[in-house]
Chain A
Amino acid sequence: MRDIIKVNELPSPTWRWLKMNEALLKNVESLKEKEVDFYIPKDVQKSKIKRNEISKIKTALGSDMDMIIDEAIDQADLIASSDKIMGPVRIDIDYLNNDNSANSFMIDAKDNSEIYVIMKFTGGSGKGTGAVQTKYKVGKNAKITLVQVQTLGNDFRFLNDIGGECDENGEFKLIQLVLGGKETYIGSRTELYGDKSNLETKIAYKTASEEFLDMNYISNHHGKNTYCDIKANGVMRDNSHKMFRGTIDFKRGCAGSLGNENEDILLLDENVINRTIPVILCTEEDVEGNHGASIGKLDENTMFYLTSRGIPEEDVLEMMAKARIDGIKNLIEDEKTVQFIDLYLNDMGAN
């Protein structure tokens, strides 16, 4: 067991009193590899790769995450494509009570290929820890779309770590829905090495009860004319607590690059804690970086309009929360996954 590990470090730290520079996890149990359900479409190659062969790819949660995964696993599941794959790769991890498990994946989209990967993290109704690290490489003119849906139980701790690189004209699209888990540490780091490489990150989260969500998204622009768009839609309820770190780093030489970062958070209960630090680092003149955040409760006019139509206040809040999640959910090009999310959200609403 590790007494303490440090994850989700902010690339450029700020005042210590804010306690935003990193997240500290206490009492992290030793982890064991978890069995996974794969659905692999035709023309996708699945094999294993030694973790030390992909150790140069850096991730958002950082070196302590590497360490706890390395202690549990020495090989990652490798998913590789060399063509445009029609159907999605499905990876389902269903956690059991008292699971303390780790998984490592590598997605490799060769030049001119395209792959769509859907990961689903479910279960975890009792105490436990799940740690998943996904690394990727996007070749020239290639595209990876990675969808992750998390509906874990409210006693479960989950670490979800992503890191990868994009070559020239490569595209990485990440869609994440975080809908459960007692403590979730999540992040993605992308190196846009190739000219015209492209990152799109869309996150929807809903936190409630005593849940804690800690996020770290990093886009490093190296190539010319690179592009990133990071958008997070959040809904917070009860006593939940969220920390969002988003960094766009324009490295010298990435002329013509553009980065946008936006967070829109709806606060639905009095005791929520919402913390945000959207960072832009810039050593290149010819770039444009924008970030924006909008944080607040539902505006009175909207609430008045909807309640005057006979909708109870609590239903209005749930409806608005659902709309935020739907905005991201509707980007998923897989009916089965969309149905799963709808079912889950309806169950949550019913409860």
Chain B
Amino acid sequence: MAQEKAKIADIDRTLYDFRNEENESNTYRLDEGLTPQIVEQISKEKNDPDWMREFRQKSLKIYNEIDVPNWGPSIDGLDIEHIATYVKPKDNKMHADWDDVPEEIKDTFDRLGIPEAERESLAGVGAQYDSELVYHNVQKGVADLGVVYSDLESAMHKEEYSDMIKEHFMKLVPPTDHKFAALHGAVWSGGSFVYVPKGVSVTIPLQSYFRLNAPGAGQFEHTLIIVEEGAYLHFIEGCSAPKYNVANLHAGCVELYVGKNATLRYSTIENWSKNMYNLNTKRAICEEGGKIEWISGSFGSHISYLYPMSILNGDGARSEFTSVTFAGNGQNLDTGCKVVHNAPRTTSYINTRSISKGNGISTFRSAVVVNSNAKGSKSAVSCQSLMLDKESRSDTIPAMDIRTDDADIGHEAKIGRISDEAVFYLMSRGMSEEEAKALIVSGFADNVGKELPLEYAVEMNNLIRVEMVGAMG
């Protein structure tokens, strides 16, 4: 058998790395750094209600009191004094028609295929450019069911939603949670608000797309989704940015409330550029019989800290986490998830794949906590890592904290390389070595690809299947 190895190239990022240079100068940005005055300026830009103005300042104080994490990838290259926390296009009006979006911004989203995706397979789309939403629209039929899909700031100023938002905003992820949650609380801007009424099933996904175009800037969008009893929603989140020589920061926050017997599927395809520090926080809480399904593909960023958390707070609540992470050259992606079983008969299933190549570092980190009240709970964790060459690194750090005897917990992890036997088998069926390895890598990552809607899987397939096959050689 041939011993020479197929070379697996980095993901082709040309689709995402294009810059809109004209628009870089056509923006309004606050000074770099983080001071009470800058935070106050954001409040003014947003016309914050008093409670939010105070919340931001309190969060800033907490940010200054909390240490940076001492356990994950180094973020020494991130200097908040050189990050502009608020950048908006000069024409920052939000539009409900693509034709009204400024041409240069529209061009960016056109190239990313967002309007096309909306036409073909989505019930609604939100598009954020730097710190502000530039487009938001939901199909009339969906809106008629009482589904609200809007930017968070507009909803906060509407009488019918303002109390709901105040009640839920950063209650699942309080600013005290960690340093970058506090930062988010201080400077958040943009993001989406989704409300699905009791019993309503939104059969076609909604999607928000976040694009950070400005160099040396941060994006801090906040996504708040409330799915009421018996309702169903699939929400898709995509993100990308062009590459600059200076650090960019993404510290978004996602809070998901899943009602009794409701289901929320939250899919993310993260493809930030390789100068991005992606310090994002996502959390869901499920009531009795509720289910949260996380589908996550992490491909971009220089550094990532990303661990969606599920709090199973009602009897029989369920969580599924399916992810793939691809760490290429210059990337250190620390990803995984957390699950807290906090009610009887709750179940969780974690199924992850990590791929690392070049000098890329991929770390799977997880925590399964079963509290003493979670009698009859079950959890299964399966994490697999594939190293594609000798320069890469792959770690798995799964933690389990079980505080009742009446729980059934299983865990398995495997780390290794592409099996010579599998390559040999496929080659004996007529494939070249390159094709065989490409097929194996593609199949390895297919746990996420097969979970996405077929119509929408274009981007995902580009990243984990087509691109890899195409890049082998």
Contact = CB atoms under 8 A, between A and B. Distances in A.
Nearest to A245: B399
A336 to B, nearest CB: 35
A229 B387 CA distance: 21
A270 B405 contact: yes
Contact of B417 (A20, A286, A297): A286
B400 A276 contact: yes
Given A278-B413, A285-B417, A15 B71 contact: yes
B405 A282 contact: no
Interface in A259-281: 267-281
Interface string A129-146: 000000000000000000
Interface in A287-316: 287-297
B192 interface: no
Contacts of A278: 398, 411, 413
Contacts of A252: 390
Nearest to A268: B405
A269 B410 contact: no
B372 A271 contact: yes
Contacts of A12: 395, 397
Contacts of B397: 12, 14, 277, 279
Given A273-B403, A275-B400, A277-B400, A294 B409 contact: yes
A16 B367 CA distance: 12
A256 to B, nearest CB: 11
Interface in A1-56: 12-16, 18, 20-21
A154 B112 CA distance: 65
B407 interface: yes
B387 A282 contact: yes
A39 to B, nearest CB: 41
B335 interface: no
> Interface SS of chain B: helix, strand, loop or mixed?
strand
Interface in B29-64: none
B412 A15 contact: no
B410 A289 contact: no
A282 B412 contact: no
B131 interface: no
A283 B393 contact: yes
A284 B71 CA distance: 22
- Most chain B CB neighbours (cut-off 10 Å) among A12, A14, A276, A284: A14
B406 interface: yes
A292 B411 contact: yes
Contacts of B400: 274-277, 293, 295
A295 B401 contact: no
Given A267-B405, A288-B415, A297-B406, A281 B399 contact: no
B416 interface: yes
B402 interface: yes
A21 B367 CA distance: 13
A272 B389 CA distance: 43
A286 B386 CA distance: 10
A18 B365 CA distance: 12
Given A12-B397, A276-B399, A270 B71 contact: no
A283 B362 CA distance: 11
A297 B397 CA distance: 24
B402 A274 contact: yes
A289 to B, nearest CB: 4
Contacts of B417: 285-287
A290 B385 contact: no
A18 B368 CA distance: 10
Nearest to A242: B402
Interface string B388-432: 111011111111111111111111111111000000000000000
A300 B69 CA distance: 43
B70 interface: yes
A288 B416 contact: yes
A233 to B, nearest CB: 16
A277 B413 CA distance: 12
A33 B256 CA distance: 58
Contacts of B394: 282
Contacts of A272: 403-405
A21 B400 CA distance: 13
B236 to A, nearest CB: 28
Contact of B409 (A16, A20, A295): A295
A293 B398 CA distance: 11
19 contacts: A12-B395, A15-B71, A15-B367, A250-B415, A274-B400, A274-B401, A276-B400, A277-B397, A277-B400, A279-B396, A281-B395, A282-B395, A286-B390, A290-B413, A291-B412, A292-B410, A293-B412, A295-B407, A296-B408
Given A270-B405, A293-B411, 19 more contacts: A14-B367, A15-B365, A21-B71, A250-B415, A270-B404, A272-B405, A273-B401, A274-B400, A274-B402, A277-B398, A277-B400, A278-B413, A279-B396, A280-B395, A287-B416, A288-B415, A290-B412, A290-B414, A294-B411
User: What are the 5 A-B residue pairs with the smallest beta carbon separation, nearest first?
Assistant: A267-B405, A295-B409, A13-B71, A293-B411, A289-B415
Interface of B: 69-71, 365, 367, 372, 385, 387-390, 392-417
